[in-house]
Chains A and B, each alone.
Chain A
Amino acid sequence: EVQLVESGGGLVQPGGSLRLSCAASGFTFSSYAMSWVRQAPGKGLEWVSVITGSGDTTYYADSVKGRFTISRDNSKSTLYVQMSSLRAEDTAVYYCAKAPGCSSTSCSRYYMDVWGKGTTVTVSS
């Protein structure tokens, strides 16, 4: 069974840091791009970042560029996002998702076919 399980969420003060993890199973992790998507309370979906299967290409939303770093360990089938300089507006449920339509050469067929259940990040003093 294909599965994604996020962890690492919690309460953090403004300006603080947090690292989220996403453990993947049931598919060849290194063959697929992976993404983070977030959803603030009562709001819509907001894409955060994507990393290609080999890890050689990354893209970020402007709202997190320079503060978040996406990475992956293919030997552990795990996706990460290191979040720093956190703000109240980063409060959200963070989902990881498998993105088979994105490669090192093109993401024009981008879509996310498997999602985790999410982990909650709250930025507050």
Chain B
Amino acid sequence: QSVLTQPPSVSAAPGQRVTISCSGSSSNIGNNYVSWYQQLPGTAPKLLIYDNNKRPSGIPDRFSGSKSGTSATLGITGLQTGDEAGYYCETWDSSLSAVVFGGGTKLTVL
């Protein structure tokens, strides 16, 4: 059971928009910054979003992040087949003094 809750899977057609939710509590998302990672099959995770809504250099603006209260959301527009991957949210938990991940969401581009 992960501290952060994500839907196990989402799907959408190419070119469409999808959102992935991440729910936590005041000890983690509510008072700390959220990051998002993409993990393509058989590869290491890659940072997509940090500080709730910032994109590292090289990440296209099709990817966006937002946070409200104790929840965060990753948005992906203009879906491509290459976006099929696992997506994970992550943040610091001040009560645990530990990093916590969501369980991961598998994105299928139909």
A→B interface (CB under 8 Å): 35, 37, 44-47, 50, 59-62, 95, 101-102, 107-113, 115-118
Task: Find out whether the CB atom of B44 lies under 8 angstroms from the CB atom of A35.
Answer: no
Residue contact A59 to B98, C-beta cutoff 8 Å: yes
CB distance from B57 to the nearest CB of A (A): 10
Closest to B34 in A: A111
Question: Is the pair A101, B44 in contact by a Cβ cutoff of 8 Å?
Answer: no
B residues whose Cβ falls under 8 Å from a Cβ of A: 2, 31-33, 35, 37, 39, 43-47, 50-51, 56, 86, 88, 90-92, 94, 96-104
**In the docked arrangement, what's the CA distance between A83 and B107, Å?**
34
| Beta-carbon contact of B104 and A45 below 8 Å | yes
Cα of A62 to Cα of B91 in the assembled complex, Å: 16
Q: Please tell me if the beta carbons of A47 and B99 are within 8 angstroms of each other in the complex.
A: yes
CA of A115 to CA of B45, assembled, Å: 7
- Residues in A with CB closer than 8 Å to B31 are 108
Contact indicator A109/B51 (Cβ below 8 Å):
yes
Having A61-B98, A116-B44, one finds 17 other A-B pairs with CB under 8 Å, namely A37-B45, A44-B86, A45-B37, A45-B45, A45-B88, A45-B101, A46-B101, A50-B99, A61-B99, A101-B50, A108-B31, A108-B94, A110-B35, A112-B45, A112-B47, A113-B56, A115-B44
